[in-house]
Chains A and B, each alone.
Chain A
Amino acid sequence: MRELRFSPFSRLVWRYTPVEQTALDTQPSFLYGGRFNPRAEFGMLYTSTSLQGAKAEFMKAAKLAAQDPDFLLPQMLHQIEVNFEKVVDLTDQKNLSFFGYSFEELIGDDWTPTQKIGTQLRNFCDAILSYSAADPKHKNFNLYIINPGSVAVVGSTKIQAMVDWNQIKPVR
């Protein structure tokens, strides 16, 4: 792990959830598994570094459900301030080459490589920055650690209709 570059990361990130789910709930990712966390081993919190990125993730989920996106509404859109010292940026080629995978493999439909990386990194960093598979123009911030000193929900808005996505403004 010594070859890896760890960097600090402080900014606003975005995440949508069903209305009944709380903003920082990692239980669904623990129960079902996620791109960087194997099911039932540990949970992670998946966020996007931009509002448009969060919307792209929502649109991809709607597509996979073969649903009109409106059918999946309402959803909560959360704005979360994060402040971490030890983040691995997998959009950095030098970091990625350490694991021997390509950018394409990291955004592919097979989660085996990313879950392997997530498991390897779990005890060495606080979070992973990665390209979004929904739209690689955007980046996702995937957190292992959720503690009040590093993570704060600063805004939550109910999205009732698709047009609401366009009305959202960053709270800070």
Chain B
Amino acid sequence: MQNHHDKLIQRLRELGFSDGQIGALTYSSERTVQNWLTRRSTPSPLVVQQLARIIEIVEDLRKLINPVAFNDWFFQSNQFLGKSPYKAIIDGNYRRIQELMGVLAGGTFA
């Protein structure tokens, strides 16, 4: 039976993230992510929370960006963020990402 964190990692893989990238987003290594999946170790509750939060952000962003262009966009530097959305998540710039979503959703002006 899949654990909650297995499902979250699987969802991130479906969203196009490599294990190395999932590791970076959770301040862990690629090997650690693979250990979580093979039950050699278990992610902390904080990491599980972080995985869920990343999925929520990525899924929200995917609604606002052309799905075909999304992966390039996500890893490219963004003028509004001053870095790529990927790096902004690693750096914990959630507020700025939310503000970018507001612009992309058409509710505010950049």
Contacts and interface: CB of A to CB of B under 8 A. Distances in A.
Interface of A: 16-18, 21, 25-29, 31-35, 39, 44, 46, 48, 57, 60-61, 63-67, 71, 75, 109, 111, 132-134, 140
Nearest to B98: A32
A18 B105 contact: yes
B66 A64 contact: no
B73 interface: yes
Contact of A134 (B95, B101, B102, B110): B110
A71 B79 CA distance: 19
A91 B110 CA distance: 17
Contacts, number: 92
Interface of B: 64-66, 69, 72-73, 76, 78-80, 82, 95, 98-110
B109 A32 contact: no
B106 A33 contact: no
Contact of A21 (B80, B104, B106): B106
